[in-house]
Structure 1
Amino acid sequence: MSKIIVAHSPDADDIFMYYAIYFGWVGSKKIRFLNLALDIESLNEGALDSKYLISAISFGLYPFIRDNYALLNTAMSFGNGYGPKLIKKKGKILKNNFKVALSGRWTTNAMIFKMKYKNARIVYKNFLEIEQSVLSGEVDAGVLIHESILNFDSSLEVEAHLWDIWVDFIKDTLPLPLGGMAISRSIPLLRAIEIEEILSNAVKVAVNNKKILSSMLENRVRVNKDELDTYLNMYANKDSITLSQIQLQALNALFKIGYDNRIYKDLINIKDYLLPTTYKNYRFS
């Protein structure tokens, strides 16, 4: 039995989508899955160094790692009318060159933020430190991600929703691509397809048994029961099982605005970077 580490973030949606495997509801006789939880920027930097065979990543990173990783067709998070929030102290007027804390250079929210606020002075923080950095006055503002968007200090207010910035950039209301799973191209194709099927099944089982699994996660996440339910409805739902056509369009829209703003050297079509699952049918036909 081979061992495969799945690296994911410690936020509730990633844990939720993986833990059907952790609890033994889904698995394989050939593969033993182990998990490693790290903050999203550590995962992004690890993917840049090809450190993990399977890793959660920010979608904004993907064009930079496309030669070494394929994008999995499952376990992804999109915002649909919501997403990361730029917060500040109530009543504070932000100058053109305000100082802001972001959760990492390679995150999708950082990409969108930098296209909008070109003169902002950026510092990078662990996502768990951003709210306190604003409260202490170390920075003028910060972009909250993960569960932090649901419940932050009452002395803070939202300056801007990244969803609104996204919609303004693409001139459409496609869902906002936030994060997905990438798999190393060093894994043989048939094995990679098998892994994708297992992970997809794990997400499906989790979504279909949400009430049971959520109760098992309550002591493993940073939010209360009601907030967990809200958060999973947003980021770990039926739309996380398999990439839809509209999600594929959204990813291409993300890569297009990144290309237009000279973040990416090349314009890619995400369909060229998914696992060719039809190979399995041809191989055994």
Structure 2
Amino acid sequence: MSIYTVAHSPDADDIFMFYAIKFGWVSSKELRFTNMALDIETLNEKALENFYDITAISFALYPKIRNEYALLRTAVSFGEGYGPKLIKKRGKKLKKNFKVGLSGRYTTNALFFRIAYPDARPVYMNFLDIEKAVLDGKVDAGVLIHESILDFDENLEVERELWDIWVDLAGDELPLPLGGMALRRSIPLNKAIEAEQMLTKAVAVAHRHKTLLSKMLLERNLVRIDDEQLQRYLDLYANEHSITMNELQYEALDKLFAIGFEHGYYDCPIRAQEYLIPTEYTTLRELH
């Protein structure tokens, strides 16, 4: 049996999508997964080191790791009219070179932010610390991600939605690409295909049994939010569109990668579907 490490973030959507495997609802005779929960920027940095077998990443990072990792079709998070929020103290007027708290250099929200606000001064920190940093005046503003977007201090207000920045950059209302999963290319292809199939089943099973799985996560204190917020958050980022990417999501990813290339963040433009695991291998092997 092959054992692979799946690294994911501790936010509710990643926990939700992986724990169908952890609870034994999805299994394989050939594969077993261990898991590691780390904040998204640590995962991005580890992916640059080719560290974990399978890892959650910010989509904006992917072109930088494309030679070492294949892009998975499953466990994806896109915004549909929503996403991270740029927040500040109520009534505060931001200067052109305002100091902003961002959740990491390689995150998708940081890419959009740097393009939209080239004169701002980023301060990178754990996303859980951003709200307090704004309240304490350590930064003038901050970009909230994950569960932080659901509920924040009443002394703060939204300066701008990153969804609006995305629409301005993309020129169309495509879904906002935020995060997904990548698998190390050194894994044998047949194992890689089975791993993706197993993860896809896990996301589908988790979605189908959302109420029961949510209850189990809450009872075990595996998420940082209460039941009402958990349901709201899962509706946003762990829904039916998280199971397998669709054509509109691929189009959105291609747009993201094109925007990044146009602004000098990538060495070449890429198309997402050219970097997926070639599942046709299984069919060809069966024919022979």
Match of 2:48 in 1: 48
Match of 2:63 in 1: 63
Match of 1:272 in 2: 274
Structure 1 moving runs of 4+ over 2 Å: none
- RMSD in angstroms over aligned alpha carbons? 0.5
SS of 1:231 mapped into structure 2: helix
Match of 1:255 in 2: 257
1:56-135 equivalences in 2 (<5 Å): 56-135=56-135
The answer on 1:191 being equivalent to 2:191 is yes
Compute the displacement of 1:262 (Å).
1.0
The answer on 1:237 being equivalent to 2:239 is yes
> Structure 1 regions of 5+ residues with no counterpart?
none
Give the Cα–Cα distance (whole angstroms) in 1 for the partners of residues 49 and 153 of structure 2. 36
SS of 1:47 mapped into structure 2: helix
Compute the displacement of 1:174 (Å).
0.3
Compute the displacement of 1:199 (Å).
0.1
The answer on 1:217 being equivalent to 2:213 is no
Q: Percent identity?
A: 62
Compute the displacement of 1:2 (Å).
2.1
The one-letter amino acid paired with 1:240 is S
Compute the displacement of 1:220 (Å).
1.2
Give the Cα–Cα distance (whole angstroms) in 2 for the partners of residues 237 and 50 of structure 1. 29
- Number of equivalent positions: 285
**1:150-173 CA distances to partner (integer Å, 9 max, x unpaired)?**
010010000000000000111100
**1:44-96 CA distances to partner (integer Å, 9 max, x unpaired)?**
00000000010000000000000000000100000000000000000000000
**1:126-160 CA distances to partner (integer Å, 9 max, x unpaired)?**
01100010010000000000000001001000000
Give the Cα–Cα distance (whole angstroms) in 2 for the partners of residues 73 and 277 of structure 1. 11
Match of 1:154 in 2: 154
Give the Cα–Cα distance (whole angstroms) in 2 for the partners of residues 7 and 249 of structure 1. 26
Give the Cα–Cα distance (whole angstroms) in 2 for the partners of residues 178 and 216 of structure 1. 26
SS of 1:160 mapped into structure 2: strand
Match of 1:19 in 2: 19
SS of 2:269 mapped into structure 1: coil
Compute the displacement of 1:222 (Å).
1.0
SS of 1:93 mapped into structure 2: coil
Match of 2:31 in 1: 31
**1:94-127 CA distances to partner (integer Å, 9 max, x unpaired)?**
0000000000000000000000000001110001
Give the Cα–Cα distance (whole angstroms) in 2 for the partners of residues 149 and 165 of structure 1. 16
Give the Cα–Cα distance (whole angstroms) in 2 for the partners of residues 259 and 32 of structure 1. 37
